[in-house]
Amino acid sequence: MIVISAEDSALFSLNEIATAIWLAADGRTPLREIVEQRVCAEYAVDPETALRDAEELVRELSAHGILLTSGQPFPDAA
């Protein structure tokens, strides 16, 4: 999957695991839960390593305005 930043036109080529995280990011499900249910359930990866890598992905996408993050679920997330 390829995503592009509307802010700076940066392109991101997401691998299979990053794509699974992207598709599961619904604004309601915590990242830890996404990692447990989508990544660790399907790939042979250590949960803490997977979470650390997912947090890095989210930070990078957020820094480019591609992904919004919050400590709480978004109220209008559908």
**pLDDT over 90 at 73, yes or no:** no
Say what the pLDDT of residue 76 is.
Answer: 66
**pTM to 2 decimals?**
0.82
Question: Tokens 């305005």 belong to which residue?
Answer: 65
Domain-located, residue 70: no
Supply the range of the domain harboring residue 38: 2-63
The number of folded domains in the chain is 1
Domain-located, residue 74: no
Domain-located, residue 77: no
Domain-located, residue 51: yes
What's the distance, Cα to Cα, between the start and end of the chain in Å?
Answer: 22
Domain-located, residue 26: yes
- The tens digit of pLDDT for each residue in 9-58 reads 889 999 999 999 999 999 899 999 999 999 999 999 999 999 999 999 99
Domain-located, residue 78: no
Domain-located, residue 42: yes
**pLDDT over 60 at 78, yes or no:** no
- The tens digit of pLDDT for each residue in 54-64 reads 999 999 999 88
Q: Is 14 exposed, middle or buried (0-12, 13-18, 19+ CB in 10 A)?
A: middle
Domain-located, residue 11: yes
